């Protein structure tokens, strides 16, 4: 460097000149010292002021400033939309002096429902897509705060958080938002700082709020307890499946680690038997268009063989990428290749780094994040209570002054009337009645209308109410337990207000492995299924024996307009076959279904089976009871027999079981036969036909079948049962109104299939249509029946107590249903 006095260069002074601001002299510095200090300042600026979120409100500075600017603009969820450009300008001009493009990009991200699990901004206009399409320019789009974003700024005007000057000291901005929601976990974060980065996945609000409540009650909960009972894992806005509970727990413990994420894909089969792979969900932050191109390139280069076409049929309804397969291609193998060679399966590398108290970067574990938020909400609650206490005391002070004036109203009026001006009156009031200046001003500003008796009482009532509020606030502030009860109460209210279903399915075992049945105790269990597709499992012993004619007990809670349609008895080790209205079949183990209480409604069956949008389960069958054939019966009286060996290896994405001649037809019953049985079909109008199974030849899976019974106009098949040639026993019939009987099977003669049949029960307005038909063996003294109604009432009765009557008899009441209720099913146990 150059010596300023001699003008010579002195190479040994390898540094940078700095200026002493007091003396104005240039002070030489070593380059190494300057670089270390400047780079450290730069690094901390990036870490604290740009890249990392605060653990308390889960926001980076630019996100916080956008929300605060929207609050100042009055853009709450009930306001009119305003141009994004105005929001960006407000943020940039007042709080964030950086590029408008970066601010707008952040605003867009906060509004995208595929980027945020709970978007903080309500968008209007083109805000981009999962294909990587950019949002329209800020001058074209509009935005306002979402409902949940209002919880982020709730009570900010009650001195709940600290404020600091903005960049030019003209305004103040919050250091952190009060935030009633744990946004760091709910929406996650992604940021690259200097020497560190954060990558936090989003989570489900119901699970996180439950964990917070539990942690307030029991601070000793471990991360294993939290994951086992509350936060099952990340919940991505794009759905998908995450694997391996152990690796999830390990990542939450360390604050870092990989979590395997897969998209959701299913194998569909057309009526002609052609297969295709349909992708309906993709991993979080994955570009759908790039994924499609990647699969197409792999198919073109023959790395993945057997793909004939690929189409992106996605719409506003959701993701749908269809991969058509060549004839004879192995769908499972191709799907497995797609998982391993494309981003349809990837690791989410969790990295739980955030700012502690807005200053210090720290790697948190899951419990520490929850504890930090609880401490934040405790601080906000205490500050809010202190603010409200201060405001209440101010108002009480004024009301006490008004009360003095009302108690001495004549003297007050005379004093004011005798004063020459307002100041003389004010000081006269203060001196005579020992009032403060604030109280005196309030008296002078009081309207004459408040002298009326009713108005006077209002002042006294308000004074008493505010004194009561002060006592309550002081009582809460004096007790740590009561403070935490207030915090917990807010958590419960937030959970109830924003409760939502999990989008991402959690599979507890690693990819490629499965949970063995040996870890599950073999017990008799009942599988309940409702019309709208809710399923649950309960042990048979949950229902006690009752006498016939009773009202029964609740079997499961159902949603409005929903009803119970099926109950199947099975061992927990059994696999169940689920036949759908679209003619497909799925296989699923009984123990995998959630065990519930009598009042529980269960879980949607779509969480377990890869059903299409309009596909519903119509028949549930115990796979352990398979014989030589599977016999299919449809609502329009069509029957089909197929070798059961074609259904022993059912892939997870289902298998085509039957095709329908009429698109309005649907499956009523499926059961297994030995090939020598006789079939009894029964309709809702009380007709029945008995024919030999040999009248129906074996057919392939893709066949449609033949006519089993000829139906009258409006009639439909409600049941199908199999009997042996000389079987003795009874045909049990039960109507919608709970009227039932048992009739000897011998009363039903064998006919040729395809006829109209004979009368099986007398149907009337009193009985309602026929609802349930079952075969009861001749020796049935130890058998019991579970009768289930549409509203999920369940009664358990002895089969022996049911009267034996003729074909044309009406029957007796077995279950008395309430108004607008109907019997829907019955299971023999």
- Residue 334 tokens, joined: 């191709």
Length of the chain in terms of residues written:
829
Q: Are residues 396 and 316 in the same domain?
A: no
CATH code assigned at 80:
3.90.199.10
- φ/ψ (deg, to 5) at 821: -105, 155
Q: Are residues 592 and 661 in the same domain?
A: yes
Q: Are residues 493 and 522 in the same domain?
A: no
User: pLDDT means per 10 residues in the chain (829 residues)?
Assistant: 42 51 73 68 60 91 95 95 97 92 95 96 96 95 96 95 93 95 95 82 96 96 94 96 94 95 87 82 94 94 91 91 87 88 94 89 94 96 96 93 88 88 89 90 82 78 93 95 96 94 92 54 80 78 55 51 71 86 85 71 81 83 84 92 84 81 84 89 92 91 89 89 87 90 90 91 87 87 84 84 87 86 82
CATH code assigned at 702:
2.120.10.90
| Residue 364 within any structural domain of the chain | no
Q: Which residue has the tokens 């009633």?
A: 180
Q: Are residues 64 and 148 in the same domain?
A: yes
Do residues 378 and 487 touch, judged by C-beta distance below 8 A?
Answer: yes
- Residue 254 tokens, joined: 């360390």
Q: Are residues 741 and 700 in the same domain?
A: yes
Q: Are residues 685 and 620 in the same domain?
A: yes
| Residue 700 within any structural domain of the chain | yes
Q: Are residues 619 and 726 in the same domain?
A: yes
Q: Is the pTM of this model over 0.75?
A: no
Spatial distance between the Cα atoms of 486 and 489, rounded to a whole number of angstroms? 5
| Residue 108 within any structural domain of the chain | yes
The one catalytic residue in 39, 42, 140, 167 is 140
- Residue 640 tokens, joined: 């089909």
**CA of 502: how far to CAs of 245, 252, 499, 506, 619, in Å?**
16, 19, 10, 9, 27
Q: Could you tell me how far CA 5 lies from the centroid of its own chain?
A: 74
Residues of 99-134 as b/e, b for ≥16 C-beta within 10 angstroms? Answer: eeeebbbbbbbbbbebbbbbbbbbbebebbebeeee
| Residue 95 within any structural domain of the chain | yes
State which of 295, 324, 343 marks the end of a domain. 343
Q: Are residues 533 and 465 in the same domain?
A: no
Per-residue pLDDT at 176: 96
Secondary structure class of 584 (helix, strand, coil): strand
Per-residue pLDDT at 561: 47
Q: In what order do the strands lie in the sheet with 307-312?
A: 264-269, 275-281, 321-325, 307-312
Q: Are residues 623 and 476 in the same domain?
A: no
| Total domain count, the chain | 4
| Residue 769 within any structural domain of the chain | yes
Per-residue pLDDT at 619: 82
State which of 131, 158, 176 marks the end of a domain. 176
| Residue 385 within any structural domain of the chain | yes
β-partners of residue 566 are 529
| Residue 657 within any structural domain of the chain | yes
Q: Are residues 454 and 524 in the same domain?
A: no
Q: Are residues 382 and 453 in the same domain?
A: yes
Do residues 59 and 149 touch, judged by C-beta distance below 8 A?
Answer: no
CATH code assigned at 275:
3.30.1360.40
Per-residue pLDDT at 826: 82
| Residue 510 within any structural domain of the chain | no
State which of 152, 176, 200 marks the end of a domain. 176
Q: Which domain holds residue 123?
A: 55-176
Establish whether 498 is a catalytic residue.
Answer: no
Per-residue pLDDT at 646: 83
Spatial distance between the Cα atoms of 586 and 608, rounded to a whole number of angstroms? 10
Q: Are residues 521 and 491 in the same domain?
A: no
Q: Could you tell me how far CA 219 lies from the centroid of its own chain?
A: 26
Which pairing describes strands 717-723 and 584-589: parallel, antiparallel, or unpaired?
A: unpaired
Per-residue pLDDT at 521: 65
């Amino acid at each position: 460097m150059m010596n300023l006095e001699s003008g010579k260069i002195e190479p040994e002074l390898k540094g940078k000149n700095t200026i002493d601001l007091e003396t104005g002299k240039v002070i030489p510095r070593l380059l190494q010292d300057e670089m270390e200090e400047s780079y450290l300042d730069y690094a901390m600026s990036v870490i604290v002021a740009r890249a990392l979120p605060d653990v308390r409100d889960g926001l980076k500075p630019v996100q916080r400033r956008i929300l605060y600017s929207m609050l100042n603009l009055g853009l709450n969820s009930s306001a009119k939309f305003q141009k994004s450009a105005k929001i960006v300008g407000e943020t940039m001009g007042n709080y964030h002096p950086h590029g408008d493009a970066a601010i707008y990009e952040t605003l867009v991200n906060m509004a995208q429902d595929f980027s945020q699990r709970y978007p903080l901004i309500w968008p209007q206009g083109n805000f981009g897509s999962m294909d990587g399409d950019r949002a329209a320019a800020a001058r074209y789009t509009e935005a306002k705060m979402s409902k949940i974003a209002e919880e982020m700024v709730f009570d900010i005007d009650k001195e709940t958080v600290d404020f600091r000057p903005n960049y030019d000291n003209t305004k103040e901005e919050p250091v952190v938002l009060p935030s009633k929601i744990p946004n760091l976990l709910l929406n996650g974060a992604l940021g690259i700082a200097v020497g560190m980065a954060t990558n936090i996945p989003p989570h489900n609000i119901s699970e996180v709020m439950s964990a917070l409540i539990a942690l307030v009650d029991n601070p000793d909960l471990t991360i294993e307890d939290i994951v086992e009972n509350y936060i099952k894992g990340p919940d991505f806005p794009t759905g998908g499946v995450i694997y391996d509970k152990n690796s999830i727990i390990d990542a939450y413990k360390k604050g870092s680690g990989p979590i395997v994420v897969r998209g959701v894909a299913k194998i569909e089969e057309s009526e002609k038997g052609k297969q295709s792979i349909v992708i309906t969900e993709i991993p979080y932050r994955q570009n759908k268009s790039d994924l499609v191109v990647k699969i197409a390139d792999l198919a073109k280069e023959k790395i993945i063989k057997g793909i004939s076409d690929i189409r992106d049929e996605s719409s506003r309804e959701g993701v749908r990428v269809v991969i058509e397969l060549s004839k004879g291609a192995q769908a499972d193998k191709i799907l497995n290749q797609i998982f391993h060679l494309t981003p349809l399966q990837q690791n989410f590398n969790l990295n739980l780094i955030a700012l502690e108290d807005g200053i210090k970067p720290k790697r948190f574990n899951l419990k520490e994040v929850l504890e930090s938020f609880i401490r934040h909400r405790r601080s906000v609650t205490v500050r809010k209570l202190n603010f409200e206490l201060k405001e209440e005391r101010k108002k009480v002070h004024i009301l006490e002054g008004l009360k003095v004036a009302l108690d001495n109203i004549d003297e007050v009026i005379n004093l004011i009337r005798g004063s020459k001006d307002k100041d003389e009156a004010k000081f006269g009031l203060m001196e005579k009645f020992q009032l403060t200046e604030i109280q005196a001003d309030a008296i002078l500003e009081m309207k004459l209308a408040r002298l009326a008796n009713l108005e006077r009482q209002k002042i006294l009532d308000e004074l008493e109410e505010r004194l009561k509020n002060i006592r309550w606030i002081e009582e809460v502030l004096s007790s740590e337990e009561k403070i935490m009860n207030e915090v917990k109460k807010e958590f419960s209210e937030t959970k109830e207000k924003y409760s939502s279903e999990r989008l991402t399915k959690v599979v507890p075992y690693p990819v490629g492995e499965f949970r063995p049945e040996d870890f599950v105790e073999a017990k008799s269990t009942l599988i309940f299924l409702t019309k709208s597709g809710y399923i649950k499992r309960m042990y048979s012993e949950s229902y006690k024996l009752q006498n016939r004619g009773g009202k029964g007990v609740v079997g499961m809670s159902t949603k409005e307009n929903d009803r119970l349609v099926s109950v199947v008895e099975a061992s927990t080790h059994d696999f169940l076959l689920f036949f759908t209205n679209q003619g497909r079949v799925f296989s699923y183990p009984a123990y995998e279904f959630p065990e519930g209480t009598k009042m529980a409604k269960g879980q949607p069956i779509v969480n377990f089976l890869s059903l299409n949008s309009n596909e519903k389960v119509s028949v549930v069958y115990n796979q352990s009871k398979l014989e030589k054939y599977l016999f299919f019966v449809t609502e329009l009286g069509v029957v089909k027999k197929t070798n059961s060996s074609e259904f022993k290896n059912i892939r997870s994405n289902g298998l085509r079981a039957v095709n329908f001649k009429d698109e309005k037809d649907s499956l009523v019953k499926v059961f297994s036969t030995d090939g020598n049985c006789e079939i009894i079909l029964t309709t809702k109008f009380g007709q029945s036909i008995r024919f030999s199974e040999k009248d129906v030849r074996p057919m392939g899976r893709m066949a449609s079948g033949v006519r089993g019974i000829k139906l009258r106009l409006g009639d439909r098949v409600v049941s199908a049962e199999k009997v042996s040639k000389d079987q003795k026993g009874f045909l049990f019939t039960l109507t919608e109104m709970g009227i039932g009987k048992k009739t000897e099977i011998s009363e039903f003669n064998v006919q040729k299939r395809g006829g109209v049949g004979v009368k099986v029960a007398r149907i009337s307005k009193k009985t309602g249509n026929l609802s349930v038909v079952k075969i009861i063996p001749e020796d049935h003294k130890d058998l019991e029946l579970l009768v289930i109604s549409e509203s999920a009432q369940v009664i358990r009765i002895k089969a022996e107590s049911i009267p034996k009557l003729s074909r044309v008899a009406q029957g007796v009441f077995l279950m008395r249903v309430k108004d607008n209720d109907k019997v829907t099913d019955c299971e023999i146990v």
